[in-house]
């Protein structure tokens, strides 16, 4: 399943959906929002937006790349949009394979590709402004000067 | 007329998320870019960081656009 969703991601349900009798391994990657701090300010939450339907088709393409490279029987990538509070899941990847090696490798590949090609953007909403991650554009000038 | 979409930091800089734009027949993306900047000068400093998509697929400067196409201005992606 490849999906872009507005609400909380049910990680347990995604894992349960990957269980198969022909697979001996399910690898799960959960990306969660991390709260950074600098000079007395802190990130209050993150906000994600996507270019749809391009983002949806890129998730499906990543799934096809994985199935061409590894012996996997199930791949799911779910990304959340909108406001995501600290510690919550913003992306969940679940891969089932007969063997653990391909499951680990494919799940790692999936998150790296998500970060490379899927048109999704996040901005950090700080207590004193916001910053678009990757562009360093926003209303929070001190952060905009960080490397 | 093409449709231009702006996302993330580019939408901030452009102060809009979508606009129509008249471009010459057979114009390439490289030729469309200055026309976008004419309307949204604050995008100019972002040029080297931006990618483009035409009708939902990544495209390069030499790719041409046709009337009715959807051109998306994409800052560095930051999902995950």
Beta bridge partners of A125: A45, A130
Helix (H, G, I), strand (E, B) or coil at A81: coil
For residue range B19-78, what is the model confidence (pLDDT) as tens digits? Answer: 999 999 999 999 999 999 999 999 999 999 999 999 999 999 999 999 999 999 999 999
Return the structure tokens found at A57: 């088709």
Nearest to A114 among B57, B75, B79 (CB): B79
ipTM: 0.96
B56 to A57: CB separation less than 8 angstroms, yes or no: yes
Residue ranges making up the domain that contains A85: 2-144
Q: What are phi and psi of A128, to 5 degrees?
A: -125, 30
Those residues whose C-beta lies under 8 Å from the C-beta of residue A133, and which sit 6 or more positions away, are A121, A122, A123, A124, B78
- Looking at the structure of chain B, the number of domains it has is 1
**What CATH number should be reported for the domain holding residue B62?**
3.10.20.30
The 3-state DSSP class for residue A80 equals strand
Domain tally, chain A = 1
- Count interface pairs A-B at CB distance under 8 A: 81
Amino acid A143: pLDDT: 45
Q: Are A111 and B9 an interchain contact pair (Cβ–Cβ within 8 Å)?
A: no
Average pLDDT, chain A: 94
Q: Is residue B62 part of a domain?
A: yes
What is the least distance, in Å, from the CA of A4 to any CA of chain B? 11
Question: How far is residue B80's CA from residue B12's CA, in Å, rounded to a whole number?
Answer: 21
Domain that includes residue B22, residue range = 2-74
* B77–A119 C-beta distance less than 8 A: yes
Q: By CA distance, what is B56's nearest residue in A?
A: A54
Model confidence at A147: pLDDT above 50: no
Which residues of chain B lie closer than 8 angstroms to A49, CB-CB? Answer: 7-8
| B44 contact residues in A (CB cutoff 8 A) | none
B72 CA: distance to closest CA in chain A (Å)? 8
Min Cα–Cα distance to chain B from A59, Å: 12
Q: Identify the band that residue A136 occupies on the pLDDT scale cut at 50, 70 and 90.
A: confident
Q: How far is B57 from chain A (nearest CA, A)?
A: 7
What CATH number is attached to the domain comprising A106?
A: 3.90.1170.40
d(CA A145, CA B26): 40
B16: exposed, middle or buried (Cβ count in 10 Å: 0-12, 13-18, 19+) = middle
CA A6/CA A101 separation, integer angstroms = 32
Query: Do residues A51 and A121 lie in contact, with contact meaning Cβ atoms separated by under 8 Å?
Result: no
What percent of chain A shows pLDDT beyond 70?
95
Interface test with A, best of B46, B79, B80 (most A CBs within 10 A): B79
Instruction: List the single residue in B with minimal CA-CA distance to A4.
Output: B79
């Amino acid at each position: 399943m490849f999906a872009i969703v507005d609400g909380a991601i049910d990680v347990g349900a995604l894992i349960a959906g990957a269980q198969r009798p022909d697979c001996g391994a399910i690898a799960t990657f959960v990306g969660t929002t991390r709260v950074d701090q600098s000079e007395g300010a802190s990130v209050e939450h993150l906000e994600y937006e996507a270019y749809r339907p391009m983002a949806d088709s890129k998730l499906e393409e990543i799934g096809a790349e994985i199935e061409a490279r590894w012996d996997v029987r199930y791949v799911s990538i779910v990304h959340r949009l909108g406001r995501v509070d600290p510690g919550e899941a913003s992306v969940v990847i679940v891969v089932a394979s007969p063997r653990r090696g391909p499951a680990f490798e494919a799940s790692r590949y999936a998150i790296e590709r998500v970060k490379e090609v899927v048109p999704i953007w996040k901005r950090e909403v700080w207590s004193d402004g916001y910053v678009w991650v990757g562009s360093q554009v926003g209303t929070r000038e001190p952060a905009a000067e960080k490397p | 007329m093409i449709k231009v979409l702006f996302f993330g930091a580019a939408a901030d800089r452009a102060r809009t998320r979508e606009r129509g734009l008249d471009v010459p027949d057979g114009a390439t993306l490289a030729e469309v870019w200055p026309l976008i900047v004419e309307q949204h000068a604050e995008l100019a400093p972002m040029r080297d960081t931006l990618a483009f998509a035409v009708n939902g697929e990544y495209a390069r400067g030499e790719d041409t656009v046709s009337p009715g196409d959807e051109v998306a201005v994409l800052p560095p992606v930051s999902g995950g």
